[in-house]
Amino acid sequence: MKKIIPATFVVAVALLFFGCGKGNELCELVSEYRSAVYTAESGDAALQAYYSQKEYPYAADGVAAAMTSCFEVQATLPDNTLTYTVSFRCGEKSFGGEMSYDSVRQVFCFSQSMEEPSEETMTFTVTAEGENAPAYTFEAKKAGKDLLTLGELLSRIDENKKSELEQFGGKQFGGEIYVRLMVQDEKCYYYVGFIDRSGKCLSFLADAQTGEVLATKSS
């Protein structure tokens, strides 16, 4: 049976390979790439929003699959018993809806399929249901400047951690790769996880501007 490739996958692939550089075969194995993070605080509440390209269905099985684009909003709010909705604009379009509660991470979440925002600052309004219910406005700023492209990042990790990678997956790694931009204390990092077909993972924490590997973990 002929497999139908969604248009969102075509867009994701085009964006993913931009900056990879010819011959960088590791880019072809990426099944998650979080490339943008927005952060903000409002009193005792906080918000982070992420733009990612992710495989669907999502599975850490060592096999890279077709990806779709996703924008995720996560809010930490003081009252977890309320029902919240979020609204925001990107370009000329408005987005929003009811947020679901993740009891494990204790955050309210909203996910939207959309293109990557070009804005350096985005305004998010989170409102609770009910009379006199609280409302929060977050002026979220895009994290990081002069960050490495996906291709630059993977090339530097491959160069600097070649022996570890070959010991883990052989000379020709054939699994899948997760790349997630992370922010802590206004500093940006990349989590890069190499996952083989058995589900084992060799991961690195790298400086998002230089590619320097700061930590290595095998699980």
Cβ-based neighbour number of residue 17 at 10 Å: 16
Q: What is the pLDDT of residues 87-107, one digit of tens each?
A: 999 999 999 999 999 999 999
The matching CATH number, chosen from 1.10.3470, 1.10.357, 1.10.3120, 3.10.450, for 150-218 is: 3.10.450
Mean pLDDT rounded to a whole number for the chain: 89
Q: What is the pLDDT of residues 55-68, one digit of tens each?
A: 988 888 889 888 99
Q: Structural domain boundaries of the chain?
A: 7-18+37-142, 150-218
Q: Which pair of structure tokens corresponds to residue 191?
A: 């989590």
Q: What is the pLDDT of residues 160-219, one digit of tens each?
A: 999 999 999 998 898 999 999 999 988 999 999 999 999 999 999 999 999 999 999 999
| Cα dihedral 165, 171, 174, 180 sign | positive
> Which CATH class for the 7-18+37-142 domain?
mainly beta
Do residues 182 and 48 lie in contact, with contact meaning Cβ atoms separated by under 8 Å?
Answer: no
Query: Quick one: pLDDT at residue 132?
Result: 85
Cβ-based neighbour number of residue 20 at 10 Å: 20
pTM for the model stands at 0.85
Q: Which pair of structure tokens corresponds to residue 207?
A: 């400086």
- H/E stretch holding 86 reads strand 84-90
